[in-house]
Amino acid sequence: MRDNFGRNIDYMRVSITDRCNLRCRYCMPEGARWVPMSEILTYEQIIEICTEAAALGIRKLKVTGGEPLVRRGCPELIRRLKEIPGIQQVTMTTNGILLSQYMDELLRNGLDGVNISLDTLDRERYAWITGSDSLDEVLDSIMRALESGIKVKINSVLFGDEASDEWKSLVLMAKERNIDVRFIELMPIGYGKTFEPISNSRLMTMIRQLYPGIETDESVHGNGPAVYYKIPGFKGSIGFISPIHGKFCHQCNRLRLTSKGILKPCLCYGEGIDLKSVFERKGEKKDDIRRAIRQGIEMKPEGHCFEKKESITENKNMIQIGG
């Protein structure tokens, strides 16, 4: 379905939990609280919402969280999402801790691709960012995913001065492997407001100094706003997702469904449509859900306002939204 600005909305990020086995400082630091399970959408409700979304033109789903793999039955949900008429692609974003354990089942159930979040290859910094000494598990999952032949992308958020050299080893991951390493600018959402982002333009300048041959990669890599580059001799590509310094709202194709069932038209604003409450009403829900999703698409604003922090109305943390 097209929104009021002519954009084709065909992609929905579906958060299935606000729980996580990590405590990334900019997302869900130590001490933050979970939402009770009774307030979280059931898998049945998620399937119903995605079915109606597909009827309105959503073709691609990204399962996210919290950490999606900590919710029991996640691989089975993937299978059911894949069966929805009209859905062409189901992918997942994960911190990678449990991925190798579930990889076979996820593949059998039709997972089309996986984004693994990894902000550093330095063991100490990894533990400092995430609160957990589990870098080895993540690296193991990356290798397992690559061996399986599924499309793998690494998502890295760089922040603070200490990260100024971080990119070097992350970029090198794309040298010998067919893997996209993508740098996402830290957004001023929730705890993200408390850290200094490293801009992708600054990062690109540093990468270009080391790899002057870096050039635009025109091939299509996915559903989103990433701009890709190739470094000569590298098997994989380097991507930049620059919500702050490279506003891409004119090509925004997405909706977000939070684990509590709020349909979010834009990451920047608190407005959303409460789809969970539709399930609390008596009678046939299908038409109400479809109407609410249509309304969500119509509510999409022309653009975000991350450049004007005082205009941001979203107060949730990223762990409640799903990235």
The residue ranges that bind ligand SF4 (CB under 6 A) are 20, 22-24, 27-28, 65-67, 95, 117, 319
Picked from ligand SF4, ligand SAM, none, the partner binding residue 187 (CB below 5 to 8 A depending on kind) is ligand SAM
Picked from ligand SAM, ligand SF4, none, the partner binding residue 272 (CB below 5 to 8 A depending on kind) is none
State residue 91 phi and psi, 5-degree precision. Answer: -125, 175
Nearest to 266 by CA among 279, 253, 276: 253
H-run or E-run covering 103: helix 99-108
Is residue 186 within the footprint of ligand SAM (CB under 6 A)? Answer: yes
- The rounded distance, in Å, linking the Cα atoms of 191 and 159 is 12
56 or 69: CB nearest ligand SAM:
69
Residue range at the interface with ligand SAM (CB under 6 A); choices 37-45, 185-193, 219-227, 231-239: 185-193
23 or 221: CB nearest ligand SF4:
23
Is residue 64 within the footprint of ligand SAM (CB under 6 A)? Answer: yes
Is residue 100 within the footprint of ligand SAM (CB under 6 A)? Answer: no
Can you tell me which of 9, 12, 16, 27 binds ligand SAM, judged by CB under 6 A?
A: 27
Contacts of 271 (CB under 8 A, 6+ apart): 264, 265, 299, 313
- The rounded distance, in Å, linking the Cα atoms of 83 and 47 is 10
Residues in a beta bridge with 61: 12, 90
The mark string for 204-243 relative to ligand SAM (x by CB under 6 A, - otherwise) is ----------------------------------------
- The rounded distance, in Å, linking the Cα atoms of 221 and 92 is 15
* Min dist. Cβ of residue 222 to ligand SAM (A): 14
* Min dist. Cβ of residue 71 to ligand SAM (A): 11
**Angle ∠(178,180,108) on CA atoms, nearest 5:** 70
* Min dist. Cβ of residue 254 to ligand SF4 (A): 18
- The rounded distance, in Å, linking the Cα atoms of 165 and 144 is 27
Can you tell me which of 10, 48, 52, 67 binds ligand SAM, judged by CB under 6 A?
A: 67
- The rounded distance, in Å, linking the Cα atoms of 321 and 65 is 7
Q: Cα 301 from chain centroid?
A: 20
Is residue 200 within the footprint of ligand SAM (CB under 6 A)? Answer: no
> Max CA-CA distance within the chain?
63
Within positions 244 to 283, which residues make up the interface with ligand SAM, using CB under 6 A?
none
96 or 296: CB nearest ligand SAM:
96
- The rounded distance, in Å, linking the Cα atoms of 267 and 311 is 12
Can you tell me which of 65, 222, 225, 236 binds ligand SAM, judged by CB under 6 A?
A: 65
Amino acid occupying residue 245 = H
Using only C-alpha atoms, the chain has a radius of gyration, in whole angstroms, of 19
Is residue 323 within the footprint of ligand SAM (CB under 6 A)? Answer: yes
Length, in residues, of the chain: 323
Give contact residues for ligand SAM (rule: CB under 6 A). 20, 26-27, 64-65, 67, 93-95, 117, 155, 157, 184, 186-187, 189, 192, 318-319, 322-323
